Chain A
Amino acid sequence: MQFMLLFSRQGKLRLQKWYVPLSDKERKKISRDLVQTILARKPKMCSFLEWRDLKIVYKRYASLYFCCAVEDQDNELITLEIIHRYVELLDKYFGSVCELDIIFNFEKAYFILDEFLLGGEAQETSKKNVLKAIEQADLLQEVSSFAVDRFSAH
């Protein structure tokens, strides 16, 4: 995966995860253009498109679009499952997630994504394990001021 974008129906970016090195300016341009292209598509259309020299996979969940740019050899159908798994994780974590949760807790959305994907590939295929890791990390954050070095690796 080269990048993942989450944006609203009005085109406002809610999350952007980049797995390829690009300058801020380049990222802005790509985001803007791709968002416009996807928003222009009709509801009955395919979830896949070729855009510039990228393969794009996207799906809308309520008011949010989840959009990934994948490599040529990547399986588009399983990418849809990756997107779905991420939505399920957010849903479980926030309890019936909605766009406002992502807006007000964007850093959590990133933390969850970073426990699910690494470098653009899935690092954990068990929903339970991802959520457990997040839970533990959150706990650590709460007591972080003095107990960081008391927790040992297992």
Chain B
Amino acid sequence: MPAPIRLRELIRTIRTARTQAEEREMIQKECAAIRSSFREEDNTYRCRNVAKLLYMHMLGYPAHFGQLECLKLIASQKFTDKRIGYLGAMLLLDERQDVHLLMTNCIKNDLNHSTQYVQGLALCTLGCMGSSEMCRDLAGEVEKLLKTSNSYLRKKAALCAVHVIRKVPELMEMFLPATKNLLSEKNHGVLHTSVVLLTEMCERSPDMLAHFRKLVPQLVRILKNLIMSGYSPEHDVSGISDPFLQVRILRLLRILGKSDDDSSEAMNDILAQVATNTETSKNVGNAILYETVLTIMDIKSESGLRVLAINILGRFLLNNDKNIRYVALTSLLKTVQTDHNAVQRHRSTIVDCLKDLDVSIKRRAMELSFALVNGNNIRGMMKELLYFLDSCDPEFKADCASGVFLAAEKYAPSKRWHIDTIMRVLTTAGSYVRDDSVPNLIQLITNSVEMHAYTVQRLYKALLDDISQQPLVQVASWCIGEYGDLLVSGQCEEEEPIQDEVLDVLEGLLVSNLSTPVTRGYALTAIMKLSTRFSSVNRIKKVVSIYGSSIDVELQQRAVEYNALFKKYDHMRANPNPNIAVITIHASNSTEADMTDFVFQAAVPKTFQLQLLSPSSNVVPALNQGTVTQVIRVLNPQKQQLRMRIKLTYTLKGSAVQDLAEVNNFPPQSWQ
């Protein structure tokens, strides 16, 4: 039996394959050879074969038949075998498989091996993939190694302990004694891994956290030495001494100083020192500054230190390196609630980041911008955000639109500005607006009573330009249906459309294949509502009856119901009908100030039915300069004497006024 081919030779061979099929054939051939070699229990070449299997596994081919072989390699006395065996275990086994438990005994033996490199392999494997059961079984061995004076093993044991604690948190206690003098080590590897271990324990247990607070002075001292010490070639990175250790210490200090005044005070000076003295020309210095900022913001630091931290972030925002800009925005987002004023100072830089090319930076800048909007900066900020909405990628539009609506609702300086802003969003990003925005917007428009005419007129114009954006079309349709009378009545300075033009537009929506079924529903309802506001009733009736046989079930149902309204309740229209009295009220105001938010309400006895049409306006001008008219239709089938209770509400000179009255002196012709 010839010796199995070497690993590198196999790699070379496989790489000559020109097609996927050719590669698969080579792999299958080699796997077959490897399988038979495994079957023969060949000790000499097992290592070579498993190594080849691992290569093929990386290419994506199945290698499960090598799992047990890895275990055999681990159990071997040869270091080469163990090295490949443990590697294979980490690549091919995972804790879901029972097979991995067979490793436990081998690992236990190797943890006590006389060669530290073998112990190292065992610690590494356990710390990388040890299951909860394995961790339970071997925690004692790890704890022993945590106390050794061999720094090569001690550092590995510390990280292995971290893994054990993550898998079996109840075992944390047993490692406590061994942590006693961990920080007295000079070896940086041990220091680094010890800090990681302490961090893990403090994060998991408030008791541990309280216990380890006393380490703050020692940690501060170590950090200080790192900064003040001269050049140390072994740990130097671009002029900074062991940045990895510095960052981990800063992170542990963060956890220890949080919610604790004394600890925070004890670390104040060193944080200020690191913040001001760290070299910022390279990424490594900025990494330390970043961690420092996070710590300052989380602990109970003096306000001066906090401002220093925010200013560092502000400088980060101007850095050429986009990675730095990214972490700055992330950090500012975290602190914008607690340090709002400090972050506000960097608002213009943040807004500039909206124009960044990088998607992640843009998103963060957008979130931060919304967080910074307030009553003072709403106009300026909204200008920038709407510009952003125009040009940003589709993935942002929905969130941005929602953000704009929210901000506008909270801080709109005027109703007109509010409506204009909504219009802008609907026309520029109308198809990305969320479905639930439509009823919210309708509600908003309804409540802005004096803006009805302006709103419907602008929405109508928008429809003339573009009917593809469904949320816009839906809101517009609803408004036209509700305020169509205002639209054609010449309320605004612009030239008003005539009724037929409006109906043309709405009917256009019904037939357009750009309209969704929901939109068609809105359009049909709007047309129906106009039958009480417009005079072209017959045209509307015809449209509605056509849709009585529409394929769309929803539309058909509406049409049928509306048709019924035409038939059964036609008498409610403004057609000469002996049972209907049409009353027009005229409201005038002789006081010196305008009456705003004017609302007329009426109630009639049970035998009557009342219909109030929209008023011409909600503002009754002062000094009799104009009147508000409103039409009331009263259905009086029993021909009883008409009595009415009326209520007027309006705002005069800033105060709300309410007036109640009874009207009983309607002329008999109105109800007989």
Contacts and interface: CB of A to CB of B under 8 A. Distances in A.
B350 to A, nearest CB: 16
Interface string B226-245: 00000000110100001111
Interface of B: 7-8, 11-12, 15, 51, 54-55, 58-60, 77-81, 83-84, 87, 91, 94-96, 114-120, 123-124, 127-129, 131, 150, 152-153, 155-156, 159-160, 162-163, 188-189, 192-193, 196, 234-235, 237, 242-245, 247, 251, 283-284, 286-287, 290-291, 294, 322-324, 326-327, 357-361
Contact of A152 (B91, B115, B326): B115
Interface in A118-154: 118-119, 121-129, 133, 136-137, 140-141, 144-145, 148-149, 151-154
A125 B242 contact: yes
Contacts of B128: 19, 114, 118-119
Contacts of A126: 188-189, 234-235
A75 B631 CA distance: 69
A23 B189 contact: no
B70 to A, nearest CB: 13
Contacts of B251: 73, 75
B77 A21 contact: no
Given A16-B58, A125-B189, A153-B153, A78 B244 contact: yes
A76 B291 CA distance: 10
Interface of A: 13-16, 18-19, 21-24, 28, 44-50, 73, 75-78, 80-82, 85, 103-104, 106-107, 110-111, 114-115, 118-119, 121-129, 133, 136-137, 140-141, 144-145, 148-149, 151-154
Given A81-B244, A153-B115, A125 B235 contact: yes
28 contacts: A23-B94, A45-B360, A46-B323, A47-B323, A50-B360, A77-B286, A78-B243, A80-B287, A82-B244, A104-B8, A106-B55, A107-B87, A111-B87, A121-B162, A121-B196, A123-B189, A123-B193, A125-B189, A125-B244, A128-B234, A129-B234, A137-B79, A144-B79, A148-B79, A149-B115, A151-B114, A152-B114, A153-B115
A104 B51 CA distance: 11
Given A45-B359, A124-B189, A144 B80 contact: yes
A78 B192 CA distance: 14
B155 A123 contact: yes
Given A85-B237, A141-B79, A148-B118, 4 more contacts: A77-B290, A119-B160, A125-B189, A137-B79
Nearest to A81: B284
Contacts of B15: 103
A119 B358 contact: no
Nearest to B86: A114
Contact of B283 (A18, A45, A77, A144): A77
B192 A48 contact: no
Nearest to B324: A77
Given A28-B60, A114-B124, A124 B155 contact: yes
B79 A107 contact: no
B360 A48 contact: yes
A15 B159 CA distance: 22
Given A81-B237, A119-B159, A125 B188 contact: yes
Given A78-B291, A151-B115, A141 B80 contact: yes
Contacts of A152: 114-115
Given A75-B290, A81-B283, A121-B193, A107 B84 contact: yes
B193 A153 contact: no
B192 A123 contact: yes
Contacts of B162: 119, 121
Contacts of B115: 140, 148-149, 151-153
B323 A104 contact: no
A46 B127 CA distance: 32
B119 A153 contact: yes
A118 B153 CA distance: 12
B328 to A, nearest CB: 11
Contacts of B245: 125
B585 to A, nearest CB: 61
A21 to B, nearest CB: 5
A2 to B, nearest CB: 12
A44 B118 CA distance: 44
Contacts of B51: 107
Contact of A81 (B131, B153, B243): B243
Contact of B156 (A44, A123, A151): A123
A35 B163 CA distance: 27
A118 B95 contact: no
A44 B188 contact: no
A14 B58 CA distance: 7
B326 A48 contact: yes
Contacts of A24: 94
A145 B78 contact: yes
Contact of B94 (A21, A76, A103, A104): A21
A44 B358 contact: yes
A83 B297 CA distance: 27
A107 B95 CA distance: 22
B357 to A, nearest CB: 6
Given A78-B247, A82-B244, A153-B150, A21 B189 contact: no
